[in-house]
């Protein structure tokens, strides 16, 4: 599902319980992460739940590095947050990832005010991990 669809669906829901259920549904749409990718190298540090992010770097037609991301978590809502973050960043160029502020998306959806401090820190850790991967890909290009 693309980011615009997610935002539209999210904004359609008035109640926070419905929005949390939608996050859980988003998590169920994640492409499965290979069991071998559930490793220490892909594990995101700073998350209360277990989160794994796998980054594969390709290139667009101009040769700019593009990050293709997969992710997983052992917690249902966190899987949904992973799906939201992947919708924002996966398939984007490294420079766009570096310049894109995930906090703006979370504020616009009202998630910033409804996530626990632990989940907020976990989201920050996931975003920083992706941005670090983007910086590394941009440095090699």
Predicted local distance difference test score (pLDDT) of residue 1: 76
Q: What is the pLDDT of residues 11-58, one digit of tens each?
A: 999 899 999 999 999 999 999 999 999 999 999 998 889 999 999 999
pLDDT at 141 over 80: no
DSSP string, 31-86: PPPPGGGSSTTTBPTT-SS-EEEEEEEEE-TTS-EEEEEEEEESSHHHHHHHHHHH
Q: What is the mean pLDDT of residues 77-97?
A: 97
Residue 47 appears among annotated catalytic residues: yes
Mean pLDDT of the chain: 95
pLDDT exceeds 90 at position 64: yes
Q: Kindly indicate the confidence band of residue 112, based on its pLDDT and cuts at 50, 70 and 90.
A: confident
Q: Say if residues 73 and 86 touch (Cβ distance below 8 Å).
A: no
**Given the structure tokens 């995930």, which residue do they identify?**
102
What integer pLDDT is reported at residue 107 of this predicted model? 92
Active-site annotation holder among 6, 23, 26, 47:
47
Which class is domain 3-140? alpha beta
Non-local (6+) Cβ contacts of 132 within 8 A are none
């Amino acid at each position: 599902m693309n980011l615009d669809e997610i935002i539209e669906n999210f904004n359609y829901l008035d109640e926070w319980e419905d929005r949390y259920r939608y996050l859980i549904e988003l998590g169920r749409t994640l492409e499965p992460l290979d069991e071998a990718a559930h490793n220490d190298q892909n594990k995101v540090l700073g998350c209360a739940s277990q989160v794994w992010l796998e980054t594969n770097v390709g290139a667009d037609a101009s040769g700019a590095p593009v990050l293709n991301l997969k992710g997983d978590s052992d917690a249902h809502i966190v899987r949904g947050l992973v799906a939201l973050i992947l919708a924002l960043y996966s398939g984007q160029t490294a420079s766009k990832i570096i310049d894109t502020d995930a906090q703006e998306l979370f504020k616009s959806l009202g998630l910033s005010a409804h996530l626990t401090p632990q989940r907020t820190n976990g989201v920050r850790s996931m975003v920083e991990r992706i941005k670090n991967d983007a910086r590394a890909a941009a440095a090699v290009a």
